[in-house]
Structure 1
Amino acid sequence: MTTIADRLAIAHSRIAQAAQKCDRQPSSIRLLAVSKTKPVEDIIAAYQAGQRCFAENYVQEGAEKITALKATYPDIEWHFIGPLQSNKTNIVAQHFDWMHTVSRDKIAQRLNDQRPNELTPLNVCIQINISAEDTKSGIDTDQMLPLAKLITQLPNLTLRGLMAIPTATADTELQLKEFSTLHKLFQELQLHYPSIDTLSMGMSNDLDAAIRCGSTMVRIGSAIFGERNYPA
């Protein structure tokens, strides 16, 4: 039976192999361990295996884990990667280090206003609806620069890059098409804001295509922690 440490090692090996295929340095790609629905004991096991960056999809669950672990494990970097309602922005602003799914002016403004002064600015990514699916969150591509301009004017936020959840498909060509589009948008954003450095895209089923198209941050959950524990 494999352990969390074993599965983390496999994930890092997959990232390294994918990077080498396209002449990239594996160190240029960060692994986010998506720990939603998993207990703090699993996070500690991953931490003890060397993992420091964790991602949560549910606001309250994430805040509870951060509160439980921050005193003993202060060097964990916490990323919020789920949809966010405006009435819960204060939780993300007060607890997390990164927010990947900014897609509205109102959300950005509230995160800025609610970020405690004693914390460093919240790192944010703009979520693009790269597959143009009605059921997906994120902005249309033509809204990227106006939202980026607003974010860069907010002192308690630091714009780091773009994030997307592409079409769920095993079609490699479609994966590459959507990821290539996002990479071009990323390069466009860098022309306006050279400090942009993060392209958050790629999960277990499309990791190779994402890395081939320039991903700097991949999000892996069940391949590390096992199947998720949803309530009945």
Structure 2
Amino acid sequence: MTDTAPASRLADIRSAIARAARLANRKAEEVSLIAVSKTHPPESIVPLLEAGQRVFGENRVQEAAEKWPALREHYEGIALHLVGQLQSNKAEDAARLFDAIHSVDRPSLVTSLARAMDKVGRRPACFVQVNIGDEPQKGGCPTAELPALLAVCREAELPVKGLMCIPPAEVEPAPYFALLAKLGRDHGLAGLSMGMSGDFETAVMIGATHVRVGTALFGARG
């Protein structure tokens, strides 16, 4: 028996995105839903593919390399986004496998990615991850260092399309999303990767172009 729950959840989330976009006088098509499939096996992903979802996110290069080549053989048009931290020594594998990388956060990674992209002949879209709450335990570029990191990206000719953030937990996310949107405007970057299962509607209303939704689509991980 086919599990209809993922398709039903997908429809609900798409409706919620459309509703939030409408409230903000935006078009739902301006928002890309990234289905974050980290830790979920192919059999959990297939129902979403069958329902028409084509943009997926993974946290780890190795896990994505194990799951997605076979799925891509059966389904056309898949776009794969790396939404987790990236080690510099995995830059070449990431450049081969992913269509977008959301966790560019330090000059050494910029250098590795630029070199890897030249080598493999692919240029995935890049988002600079901002540590929007300046939390010491979190990845991302400190907000004060963002201009310098973007300058490094430009010098390396990295294809930066926008900014990404994960706001602090257990607090109202809207001010942090608004800050990321302002930073994007200040630096001429249209892409805003922000909003996850618990706050994607707020993110859409504040200007998110990409929302990263896992649990609300797949259910809680075991």
Decide: shared fold, TM above 0.5. Answer: yes
* Aligned positions of 1:40-59 closer than 5 A: 40-59=42-61
Aligned equivalents of 1:125, 1:200: Cα separation in 2: 8
- Judged with a 3 Å threshold, the aligned counterparts in structure 2 of structure 1 residues 57 and 68 are, in CA distance, closer, same or farther, namely same
**2:199 is aligned with 1:180:** no
Unaligned runs of 5+ in 1: 191-195
Where 2:93 maps in the other structure, the secondary structure is helix
Range with bigger deviation, 111-120 or 58-67:
111-120
Aligned partner of 1:3 in structure 2 is 5
Aligned partner of 1:92 in structure 2 is 94
Of 32, 38, 41, 1:39 maps to 41
Q: Deviation digits for residues 66-124 of structure 1, max 9, x if unmatched?
A: 22223233421000010122222222122111110100111111112122656431210
- Judged with a 3 Å threshold, the aligned counterparts in structure 2 of structure 1 residues 75 and 118 are, in CA distance, closer, same or farther, namely farther
Q: Given residue 95 of structure 2, which amino acid in structure 1 is its aligned partner?
A: A
Aligned partner of 2:80 in structure 1 is 78
Contact persistence 1:53–1:76 (CA under 8 A): yes
TM-score of the pair, normalised by structure 2: 0.92
Q: Deviation digits for residues 124-147 of structure 1, max 9, x if unmatched?
A: 000000111111111111221221
**2:214 is aligned with 1:212:** no
Q: Given residue 61 of structure 1, which amino acid in structure 2 is its aligned partner?
A: E
Aligned equivalents of 1:62, 1:111: Cα separation in 2: 18
Q: Given residue 202 of structure 1, which amino acid in structure 2 is its aligned partner?
A: G
Contact persistence 2:96–2:120 (CA under 8 A): no
Where 1:218 maps in the other structure, the secondary structure is strand
What is the root-mean-square deviation of aligned Cα atoms in Å? 1.7
Q: Given residue 167 of structure 1, which amino acid in structure 2 is its aligned partner?
A: P
Where 1:16 maps in the other structure, the secondary structure is helix
Contact persistence 1:80–1:98 (CA under 8 A): yes
* Aligned positions of 1:1-232 closer than 5 A: 2-115=4-117, 117=119, 119-155=121-157, 157-169=158-170, 171=171, 174-190=172-188, 196-229=189-222
Query: Across the two proteins, how many residue pairs are aligned to each other?
Result: 220
Aligned partner of 1:193 in structure 2 is none
Contact persistence 2:95–2:123 (CA under 8 A): no
Contact persistence 1:31–1:218 (CA under 8 A): yes
Contact persistence 1:93–1:112 (CA under 8 A): no
What is the percentage of aligned positions where both structures have the same residue? 40
Unaligned runs of 5+ in 2: none
- Judged with a 3 Å threshold, the aligned counterparts in structure 2 of structure 1 residues 118 and 58 are, in CA distance, closer, same or farther, namely closer
